[in-house]
Amino acid sequence: MTVCVRCIVSGRVQGVFFRAMTQRKALELKISGWARNLPDGSVEVLACGDEANVKDLQDWLWIGPQHAKVTDVSVTRVEQRVVKGFSVG
């Protein structure tokens, strides 16, 4: 089953290659969507794909790249969207 979720990742997640590594992991899991920095210092991730793979990405967001320090991942299911690839904004 295909699902889409919007995740807000908080903590030390900007300036530590979080978006680039999220893109790499998402492409590995065949997930489409995007990752972008928000003005408050968090990172917003839209992830659409197979439910199990999206769950794997959500779990990975709690870890992130080596220098990240994630304090929270807020997840909201959103209406399914047609997104090709995984972009970083």
Of 6, 12, 24, 37, catalytic = 37
Higher pLDDT, 48 or 1: 48
Comparing 3-12, 17-26, 76-85, the range with the smallest average pLDDT is 76-85
Does residue 81 have an active-site annotation? no
* The two structure tokens encoding residue 45: 């991730």
* The two structure tokens encoding residue 29: 């899991």
| Helix (H) or strand (E) run with residue 60 in it | helix 51-61
Helix (H, G, I), strand (E, B) or coil at 23: helix
* The two structure tokens encoding residue 51: 């439910």
Q: Render pLDDT for 12-59 as a digit per residue (tens, 0 to 9).
A: 999 999 999 999 999 999 999 999 999 999 999 999 999 999 999 999
What domains can be seen in the chain, in order of their start residue? 2-79 (3.30.70.100)
What pTM, to 2 d.p., does this model score? 0.94
pLDDT higher than 80, residue 79: yes
How many of the other CB atoms lie within 10 Å of CB of 64? Answer: 22
Does residue 37 have an active-site annotation? yes
